[in-house]
Amino acid sequence: MSDDQKDVLIAAYLFEDLAKKDFDAVLKLAKDKAITVEGVVLDQKDEKGEVEVSETGDHLGRKGVKVGAGVGLVVGLFAPPLLAATAVGAALGGVTGKFAKHRLESGIGKKMDAALPPGSGGVIAVYDSGGADTVDKALVNAVKKSVAQIDGMSAKKLKAGLAEAQAGMGG
């Protein structure tokens, strides 16, 4: 994992299928190693603000594989409660709390919540900041893009917490 600063990007869409197209485009960049990605998530926020993850992709550009720490990082930053369902299962109170704390203290949570209005679809990606221009060009169908940052060390710690939790579940 790179220790570089990372961009947390949220792209909002009027149409689910166009969000899916951009999701695929970012994953292809990861697969082609044009960018260094932690994970990518395609999600939908309903009218009441409830979020559902439709699809995930990992650092190698693979879709729908077992959710690892990279994708868990994306999900946890965006909606910590979803970690239970998507990343590591129910036995994850501690790590969920760490994500919630980071969201609050860094201000990233507020920014992410505002970026995706109720009733819209989104692509969320965490990647090394150096790839920002490349990602930006790939998201041709986004109506709105918001970018926050997370430093490499924080990302590493959050991922480590996830990995531990996953290991615990596995054991």
Partner 1 sequence: MSDEAIDRTKLPIRRPQFEGKVERTLDGSQPDWNSIAPIPAPKGAPNVLLVLTDDAGFGNPSGFGGPISTPTLDRLGEGGLTYNRFHTTALCSPTRAALITGRNHHAVGFGMIGEFAGPFPGYSATLPKDCMPFPKTLQGNGYSTACFGKWHLTPDNVQGPSGPFDRWPNALGFDYFWGFLGGESGQFDPVIIENNTAIGVPDEDDFYFPDAMADKTIEWLHGVRAHGSEKPWFAYFSTGCSHAPHQVGTDWSGKYKGKFDQGWDKLREETVQRQKERRVIPADAELTPRPEAMPAWDSLDANHKRLYARQMEVYAGYCENADWNVGRVIDAIDEMGELENTLVIYIWGDNGASMEGTLTGTFNELTTLNGVPLTDEQQLQLTLKWGGLEAWGTDMMGPHYSAAWAWAGNCPFQWGKQVASHLGGTRDPMVVHWPKRIAEQRGLRPQFTHVIDVGPTILEAVGLPQPTHIDGVEQQPMHGTSFLYSLDDAAAAEQHTQQYFEILGNRAMYKDGWWLSWMMPRIPWELDPKTLERFAPGVWDPETDPVELYYLPDDFTQAKNVADQHPEKVEELKKLFWEEAERYDVFPLLGGLTGFFGMRPPIPTQSQFTYYGDVQNVASGMIPRIYNHSYTISADLEIPEGAEGVIVAEADHLGGFSLFVQDGKLRHTYSFLGVQEFRQESETPLPTGSVNVRMEFAADAPKPATGGEVTLFVDDEPVGSGRIEHTVPARFSGYAGMDIGRDNGLPVDRSYVDKSPFAFTGKVKKVVFDVNPHLTEEHEQELHEHLEQALAGHAINA
Q: Which residues of the shown chain bind partner 1 in the complex (CB under 8 A)? A: 12-15, 18, 47, 117-120, 140-141, 143-144
Q: For partner 1, which is the closer residue by CB, 13 or 78?
A: 13
Least distance CB 14 / partner 1 (angstroms): 5
Q: For partner 1, which is the closer residue by CB, 13 or 99?
A: 13
Least distance CB 167 / partner 1 (angstroms): 40
Those residues whose C-beta lies under 8 Å from the C-beta of residue 33, and which sit 6 or more positions away, are none
Q: For partner 1, which is the closer residue by CB, 96 or 141?
A: 141
**Contacts from 136-139 at CB under 8 Å and sequence distance 24+?**
138/22, 138/25, 138/26, 138/28, 138/29, 139/9, 139/11, 139/22, 139/25, 139/26
Dist. CA 157–CA 102, nearest whole Å: 11
Question: Are the beta carbons of 162 and 80 closer than 8 angstroms?
Answer: no
Least distance CB 125 / partner 1 (angstroms): 19
Running DSSP on this structure, what letter comes out for residue 81? G
Q: For partner 1, which is the closer residue by CB, 32 or 47?
A: 47
Least distance CB 11 / partner 1 (angstroms): 11
Residue 119 burial (CB count, 10 A): 12
Least distance CB 147 / partner 1 (angstroms): 15
Q: For partner 1, which is the closer residue by CB, 140 or 167?
A: 140
Residue 97 burial (CB count, 10 A): 12
In a 10 Å sphere around its CB, with 0-12 CB exposed, 13-18 middle and 19+ buried, how is residue 9 labelled? buried
